[in-house]
A and B are shown apart, each in its own frame.
Chain A
Amino acid sequence: MNPAHENVVSTLTNYVFPNDLHVHWSMMIALYPYITGIVAGAFIVSSLYHVFKIESLKPVSRFSLLFALAFLACATLPLLCHLGRPERNFNIMLTPNPSSAMAGFGYIYGAYGLVLFLEILFIFRPTLVHLKGQSSGLMKIIYRALTCDSSNLSEQSLELDRKIIAFLAAIGIPMACVLHGYVGFIFGGIKANPTWATPLMPVIFLLSACVSGVSGIILAYILIKSFRGQYIDLECVKTCTKFLAGFFIVDFTFEMLEIFSHSYLYTEHYHMVDRLLAGPLYVSFWEWQVGLLSVVPLLLLGILCLTRISDASYKLLASVVSFMLLLQVVFMRWNVVIGGQLISKSDRGFTQFHPEWFDKEGILTAIVLMTLPLIILFVLSKIFPFWNEEDKDLNRKEVGGT
C-alpha cells in the first residue's frame, strides 16, 4: 500500500454503524472486574479458614486478607482513569441514586471495604499490640492508630474479638460474593450487548473471581516464600489447589455451557456471537482462553489433584497453573468486555480495538495499575506481618497458641 494512504485506511468488516466504530469501554473496563475479582477470590480463601475452619489454610488466612485489601484499594482506579474527572467520584455518595446500577457498586464496594478493613484490624490486633510495644516514632503512631490505642489483650478482650471476627468473616462472604456478582450484573444488565446480556454473567464473573483470587494467593504465597527462603506449607498449597480445581471446573463449565446453550438454541443475535468467536476473537478466545489457558490448566490440575508427584514438582506445577489461570481470567475479561463491543448494533459487522501504549487508558496505564496493588502489598507487609509463624511466639504468649 502506498504509505500516503496508510493513515486513512482502517480494516473494518461489513456494515458497522458510525457510532460503533470506537470501542468506548476500553482496557480499563476489562481491568476493573479483574482487580475486583481478585479481591473477592482472595477474601474467600481467608473465609474458608476463618468461617469454615479449614485448618490447612491457616498459613495464608491472614495474607489473603491483606492481598484482598491491596487490590481493593486499586479496584476503582481503572474506572477513574476511564471516566476522568476523579474529583467527581464522591458525587455518588453525596447524591445517592438508588436506581443507578453503577452507583450501587460504589455502595457495595464502600461497605465491603469497611468490613475487610475491620476484619484485618481485629485479626491482627494481638500482633499489632505486640508490635506497638516494640516500635518507635512513626511506626508507633501507626500501630497506636490501628489498635485504637488499646493494649488490652485479656482473654475476655480476645474472646470479644473472636466473636467480632466470626461475625465480620460471616457477613464478608456474602458481601464478597455480592461485590463481584454485582460487577457481573452490571455487564449482564446491558441488554444492548448480546454477549453480555445473560443472567449467567454474574455467576460466571463470581466463579472466575474465585479462580483469579485463589490463583493469586497460591502464586504470591509460593513466590514470596521462595524469594524469602522460607518454609512453604505444602498442605496449604494443596488445599488451595484443590479449591482452585473445584472453582475452575465449575467456572469453565459455565463459560462453555453459556456458549453451548446459545449455540444450540440459536438465540437472537447468536449468528453475530458465532461469527465474533470464529473471527475477531478466534485467537484470544478459542486458542488462548479456552485452549492454552483452560484445557491445559485443567490437565495440570488433574495431575496435581489426582497423582502423586514430588513436593518440588508440586510447588512448580501449582505456580505454573496459578499463573496460567490468572492469565485465563485476564483473557476472559478481555474477551467479554472488549470482545462484546466489537459487534456493531447493525448485527452485520465488527469493529476493531487497537490498544495504545501511552493512552490515558493504554497498556502502560494497565501495567501501572496492576503493579500498584503489589506496591501497596509491600507497604502493608511493613506494617502487618503476613505469616502466622512470624509471630508464633507472640501467639503462644498472648493468644494462648490459637
Chain B
Amino acid sequence: MESSYNSHVKRIIGGIVIAAVLGFLAKVVMTPESFGVYGHYRADAIIEEADREIRHWTNASCSSCHAHEANRHSKGNHKTISCEFCHGTYADHIADGKKVKTLPVMTGDEIKTLCLRCHNKAIEARPEDVIKTVAMPDHLKKQNVKETHTCNQCHYVHAPLEYINQAIKITGIKETI
C-alpha cells in the first residue's frame, strides 16, 4: 500500500479513536443497570446479599434441640461463645428443619488446637481478666498431669470450670494455673 509521510500517524490516531469508541461502548453495555442508584456501587448487590442463604443461625437455634448442653453452657464461662464457633455452621447440620449431617466432634490434639486458638498465652492481646491463657506444656506440668493430656480431660468444654469448681469444693485443693 502506498503511504504518505503521515499515514502511520493518521492510522495510529484512528486506532486510538476506535479503541476509545469501543471502550465507551463497552462501558455503556457492560455497566450494570442498577449501578449508581445509591452510590458508587451496584444497587442490586444489596438485595442479592440479603437473599443469601443464612448459614449461622445463632445459639437459640442450637438450644431448641440440645437443651441439656445449652443449659450447662449458659451457666458456664463459655456462655458468650457461639456454639457454631467450635462446632461448625448450623447450615451444615440442619436444612429445612431436618438434620442432614452430624457436625464433626473434636478429639485428641484437635481439641487442644481448638482451645489454644483462644487460650494460648503467646497471644498476649487477650487481657488475663477477660480470658485465661496458658502456656503449653507448662500448664500440664503445673497440674501434674501427663503432657499428652488433652484439655477436655479436665475441662468440660461447654462450661470449662464446672468440674474444676466441683473438685475444688470437694477436695479443698486450691487451683493453680
Contact = CB atoms under 8 A, between A and B. Distances in A.
Interface in B1-54: 1, 3-9, 11-12, 15-16, 23, 26-27, 30-31, 35-36, 40
A373 B148 CA distance: 52
A367 interface: no
A8 B11 contact: no
Contacts of A121: 12
Nearest to B119: A8
A356 interface: no
A93 B125 contact: no
Given A7-B113, A9-B122, A151 B9 contact: no
B117 A4 contact: no
A156 B3 CA distance: 13
Question: Residue among A13, A14, A149 with the most chain B CB within 10 A?
Answer: A149
Q: How many residues of A sit at the interface, in one of the four size bands?
A: 35 or more
B125 A150 contact: no
A5 B137 contact: yes
A93 B11 contact: no
A402 interface: no
A33 to B, nearest CB: 26
Contact of B7 (A5, A14, A17, A148): A148
Nearest to A6: B136
Contacts of B93: none
A7 B35 CA distance: 46
Nearest to B126: A18
Contact of B125 (A1, A95, A349): A349
A94 interface: yes
B67 interface: no
A16 interface: yes
A224 interface: no
Interface residues of B, number: 34
A280 B145 CA distance: 36
A121 to B, nearest CB: 7
A271 to B, nearest CB: 18
A336 interface: no
B125 A4 contact: no
A149 B125 contact: no
A154 B6 CA distance: 10
Contacts of A94: 26-27, 30-31
Given A4-B147, A10-B122, A12-B124, A152 B4 contact: yes
Contact of A8 (B5, B12, B113, B148): B113
A297 B11 CA distance: 48
A299 interface: no
Interface string B110-151: 001100110010111100000000001100000000011000
B3 A150 contact: yes
Given A4-B109, A18-B125, A152 B120 contact: no
Contact of B136 (A9, A114, A148): A9
A97 interface: yes
Contacts of A157: 5-6, 8
Given A4-B148, A5-B136, A8-B112, A148 B8 contact: yes
Interface string A112-146: 00100010010001000000000000000000000
B63 to A, nearest CB: 27
Contacts of B30: 94
A261 interface: no
A150 B8 contact: yes
A95 B122 contact: no
B37 to A, nearest CB: 13
Contacts of B31: 94-95
Nearest to B109: A4
Interface of A: 1-2, 4-5, 7-18, 21, 93-95, 97, 99, 114, 118, 121, 125, 147-152, 154, 156-157, 160, 164, 344, 346, 349
12 contacts: A2-B136, A2-B147, A8-B120, A9-B116, A10-B123, A21-B125, A94-B26, A118-B12, A147-B8, A150-B3, A152-B7, A164-B9
The 10 nearest A-B residue pairs measured at CB:
A150-B3, A157-B5, A150-B8, A148-B11, A8-B116, A148-B8, A5-B136, A156-B5, A152-B3, A16-B125
